[in-house]
């Protein structure tokens, strides 16, 4: 089960990600549930390592991109009918992408962008804009440099059973 092996991976080998694997990750993202099936996502795929390195060298939140051979930028449409649910839709989309990455034995790290306006503008400056859309998050993808085991976070005290 990919859920029980997914961890954030922040160090990658320099091996490229296969085109067919990139497509599977995008297909998984587009299969996500969304409010009224509004599918607010747009994807920008960047495998230009010079651009990725330059961006990560600016420091800050993008440091985890440093060795990534690929970054997928998720954008959300600003003109869908149910805007108040868009952030939830995009969260599901990002997680679906991460689970497909884990299923392929690749590694990924989600980097939060929205709703921080400074990060959103930084991402647009480097990766570009998409009409009627704004950046939601970055997903660094690649072959993990080290194998990391997942640590269970199951906590029974967080589970509340309904009682009449
Ligand atoms: C909304 C969101 C924003 C995140 N932003 C960053 C980030 O900017 N940089 C980073 O290295 N990891 C980021 N992460 C990854 C988390 O740090 C990571 O999921 C958390 O520490 C749990 O570890 P795990 O993913 O290995 O289970 C983010 C995750 C989420 C869901």
91 C-alpha to ligand 1 centroid (Å)? 12
- What DSSP string runs through 17-58? PPHHHHHHHHHHHHT---GGG---EEEEEE--HHHHHHHHHT
- pLDDT score of 60 more than 90: no
Which of the listed residues 6, 8, 144 should we mutate to test ligand 1's pocket, taking the one with most ligand atoms within 8 A of CB?
8
pLDDT tens profile 8-38: 999 999 999 999 999 999 999 999 999 999 9
pLDDT at position 101 is: 98
Q: What is the pLDDT of residues 117-132, one digit of tens each?
A: 999 999 999 999 999 9
Ligand 1 site, CB within 6 A: 7-8, 10, 61, 64, 109-112
Domain boundaries, the chain: 2-145
Distance of alpha carbon 152 from alpha carbon 145, whole angstroms: 22
pLDDT band at 51, cuts 50/70/90?
Answer: very high
Separation of alpha carbons 122 and 119, rounded Å: 5
Answer yes or no: pTM beyond 0.85: yes
Amino acid 30: pLDDT:
98
Cβ atoms within 10 Å of 108's Cβ, excluding its own: 30
* Gap between the Cα atoms of 146 and 149, Å rounded: 10
Report the CATH architecture of 2-145.
Answer: 3-Layer(aba) Sandwich (3.40)
What pLDDT is recorded for position 69? Answer: 98
pLDDT for the residue 61: 84
Average pLDDT, the chain: 96
Q: Each residue of 81-116: pLDDT tens digit? A: 999 999 999 999 999 999 999 999 999 999 999 999
Q: What is the mean pLDDT of residues 69-77?
A: 98
54: pLDDT strictly greater than 80: yes
% of the chain beyond a pLDDT of 90: 94
CB atoms within 10 A of CB 6: 18
Strands (DSSP E) found in the chain = 41-46, 70-77, 107-112, 133-142
């Amino acid at each position: 089960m990919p859920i029980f092996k997914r961890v954030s991976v922040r160090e990658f080998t320099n091996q490229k990600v296969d085109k067919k694997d990139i497509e599977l990750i995008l297909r998984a993202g587009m299969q996500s549930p969304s409010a009224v099936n509004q599918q607010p996502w747009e994807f920008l795929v960047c495998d230009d390592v010079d651009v990725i390195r330059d961006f990560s060298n600016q420091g800050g939140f993008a440091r985890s991109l440093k060795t990534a051979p690929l970054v997928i930028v998720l954008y959300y449409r600003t003109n869908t009918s149910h805007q108040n649910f868009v952030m939830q839709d995009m969260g599901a989309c990002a997680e679906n992408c991460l689970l497909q990455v884990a299923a392929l034995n690749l590694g990924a790290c989600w980097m939060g962008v929205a709703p921080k306006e400074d990060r959103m503008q930084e991402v647009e400056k480097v990766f570009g804009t998409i009409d009627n859309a704004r950046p939601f998050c970055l997903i660094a993808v690649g072959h993990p440099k080290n194998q990391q085991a997942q640590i269970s976070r199951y906590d029974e005290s967080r589970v509340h059973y309904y009682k009449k």
